[in-house]
Structure 1
């Protein structure tokens, strides 16, 4: 089957391109003696997780407990980091059960959460990473406050200090790609400060983890950083292009849509809307993208507006497209777009090879009734 035979809208995944992205990031990590722990929230797929692990990933980073449980049970992953603190009795019990099946690293940035986890551990021991703030201003303690927090946690039972982690998501809020090096500088400098402070206090972090896709290429060169946790690199998207982290050719995920109407001389209507592409322009307010996606190969088209099921596309220059033609759209944010579908259509050169399930979206695991 050729992709031209597919109904629209549909989510296309260029397998050759994705495989090159996975191989490239793993190779760069290996060359810099850095472990790669891919963030799974981008694709939420156990099959793609297996591909990343087979390429050489040391473990995975997950945004949800569903992701963590699914990749351990379905993809055979043995080492899992949780990106955010997990609190609440029901949630912590799930983590404790998962820790019996895999090497789990929880993330902490306060003593309250640590106490709650410790109280439920019983005889179990679990690894923890201290989240530190490298400029995003979301989770995390300052590099200066980290030693006192570790001292407090070390008084609790069965919590084992394993290292530190940070996410430099502020890179997605820069006003131009020329500002990206400054974010990387802040990432590395904050890492240097926290490692120095912890070592002076007698704590040696085994894992020093940072990571976003745009900062990966330079931050991975740091002698201190030994674990990198990018996620978006498997697909890339219009935001990554704007930040200089990717080219159009490196974007493996697109949404294929049909031109349904041309109600005005300068307007097309497509059969894909916010329920395919999302209204997302980045979690941290980037102004670098124009419109709601990039029409591949057609710079004369601007994705001007999205309803739930259709898109308004402004024609800004001469085009040879007409009603009935199909176009491929690179999403602004591929992580959000991929979460809109249950499967991706994997193809090579336009020939469909297989369908890849997006099988660990939110609330994938229903609770068991007792």
Structure 2
């Protein structure tokens, strides 16, 4: 080769090869460094090796206090058992098989999901009794449901003749079966039939069509999130339970007694769980709680397990600071947040709630906060943010950091 190529060309080729090899080694070194960093983060030493979470991870960080999480799960399980109702928690809040297994360990009889993909992920993680609290439409989604129903118990909501017929049709000639829960509108005015007569029509159709089992009726009293006081939350819960009792009686009179009367929302869980005729509750947010639950009186500050850790990165003028958590972390969901809620989250600094601080607007990576001009919040300070809606924040995260006493203790993957 040396005899056939000019020396200058040979040297040039060797330099190119050298730079290429250097580049490859650099990439290898970078990958190795990243791998070792991740290994250090994932290796949990319960003795001397545990480091403070702020030295381990970069902000913004979605954290879950495991002690609070476990207490919340245990309390709801005890409540359901004490009142003789089944607990089928909604896992859309966390989308984590780790947390769902904790819920089963504390009395949950099965789980609720919002999407077919969530059902698929939980089935893959070993869960065998899954209710999809959603009216599923779409051939590909229905086909996936049919496949899942061959190996696990699948229940699904329905509120239309079209939906029920499609559920039966997709099962085809297979031996698989699906449980159907007729969705009732108890005041949210989203999905659900609005009368007992309509519920009877659907229950009769479910019983007539192959592959389907009429299991009962369900509702989501989500309009409780718009309540302006705990008294209004209670009123909404009781009225919704009364509607469910009435429709259950109409179904029974028509020859279709529901074996399950299921209600679901965290604000009303402790209300409807005590109501006569209700056999199942499906709260979800209770594992984390959030600013919404605080405003509604459904939770206390010390029950808020999910928090976003952020840095103050700018202080352009007195009365305005900027956090390094924006809409990609907190979401831009304002929604219905009860009385007196402003902004995109509740800020806590050094254990003190900054009532006067309002996260008034978000960019993708910036949270702009207005506060008192004489506030001592400064660049470099670390704050906690209790988000308005914990479910959306968890959904935006790929992984949540499980912490105990401010130290990294576990990783919680978000699986769907």
Q: What is the aligned partner in structure 2 of residue 168 from structure 1? A: 221
Q: CA deviation at 1:285?
A: 6.8
Query: Does residue 70 of structure 2 align to residue 19 of structure 1?
Result: yes
Q: CA deviation at 1:246?
A: 0.6
Q: What is the aligned partner in structure 2 of residue 344 from structure 1? A: 400
> In the aligned structure 2, how far is the partner of 1:210 from the partner of 1:337?
24
Query: Does residue 134 of structure 2 align to residue 84 of structure 1?
Result: yes
Deviation digits for residues 99-126 of structure 1, max 9, x if unmatched?
1121111111111111112122123322
Where structure 1 has 5 or more consecutive residues not aligned to the other structure, the ranges are 361-370
| Matched position secondary structure for 1:257 | strand
Kindly indicate whether the alpha-carbon contact (under 8 Å) linking 1:346 and 1:354 is maintained by their aligned counterparts in 2. Answer: yes
| Matched position secondary structure for 1:330 | strand
Q: CA RMSD for the aligned pairs? A: 1.4
Deviation digits for residues 53-77 of structure 1, max 9, x if unmatched?
1222100110011111111111x21
> In the aligned structure 2, how far is the partner of 1:271 from the partner of 1:294?
15
Q: 1:91 to 1:305 in 2, by over 3 A?
A: same
Q: 1:142 to 1:101 in 2, by over 3 A?
A: same
> In the aligned structure 2, how far is the partner of 1:228 from the partner of 1:302?
34
Q: TM-score, normalised by structure 2?
A: 0.83
Q: CA deviation at 1:273?
A: 0.6
| Matched position secondary structure for 1:83 | strand
Q: What is the aligned partner in structure 1 of residue 194 from structure 2? A: 142
> In the aligned structure 2, how far is the partner of 1:317 from the partner of 1:213?
37
**Of 269-278 and 312-321, the range deviating more from structure 2:** 312-321
Q: CA deviation at 1:237?
A: 0.5
Query: Does residue 144 of structure 2 align to residue 94 of structure 1?
Result: yes
Equivalent pairs, count: 358
Counting only pairs closer than 5 Å after superposition, residues 163-312 of structure 1 correspond to structure 2 as 163-282=216-335, 284=336, 286=338, 288-296=340-348, 297=352, 298-312=354-368
> In the aligned structure 2, how far is the partner of 1:318 from the partner of 1:330?
23
Kindly indicate whether the alpha-carbon contact (under 8 Å) linking 2:217 and 2:261 is maintained by their aligned counterparts in 1. Answer: yes
> In the aligned structure 1, how far is the partner of 2:374 from the partner of 2:346?
17
Kindly indicate whether the alpha-carbon contact (under 8 Å) linking 2:168 and 2:212 is maintained by their aligned counterparts in 1. Answer: yes
Task: Give the alignment partner of residue 162 of structure 2, picking from 93, 100, 112.
Answer: 112
> In the aligned structure 1, how far is the partner of 2:337 from the partner of 2:60?
27
Q: TM-score, normalised by structure 1?
A: 0.93
Q: CA deviation at 1:88?
A: 2.2
Q: What is the aligned partner in structure 1 of residue 179 from structure 2? A: 127
Deviation digits for residues 258-297 of structure 1, max 9, x if unmatched?
0111111111111111111011123x57564211100022
> In the aligned structure 1, how far is the partner of 2:250 from the partner of 2:374?
60
Kindly indicate whether the alpha-carbon contact (under 8 Å) linking 2:180 and 2:213 is maintained by their aligned counterparts in 1. Answer: yes
Query: Does residue 107 of structure 2 align to residue 56 of structure 1?
Result: yes
Q: CA deviation at 1:211?
A: 1.2
Query: Does residue 407 of structure 2 align to residue 355 of structure 1?
Result: no
> In the aligned structure 2, how far is the partner of 1:244 from the partner of 1:275?
28
Where structure 2 has 5 or more consecutive residues not aligned to the other structure, the ranges are 1-50
| Matched position secondary structure for 1:84 | strand
> In the aligned structure 1, how far is the partner of 2:110 from the partner of 2:380?
45
| Matched position secondary structure for 2:120 | helix
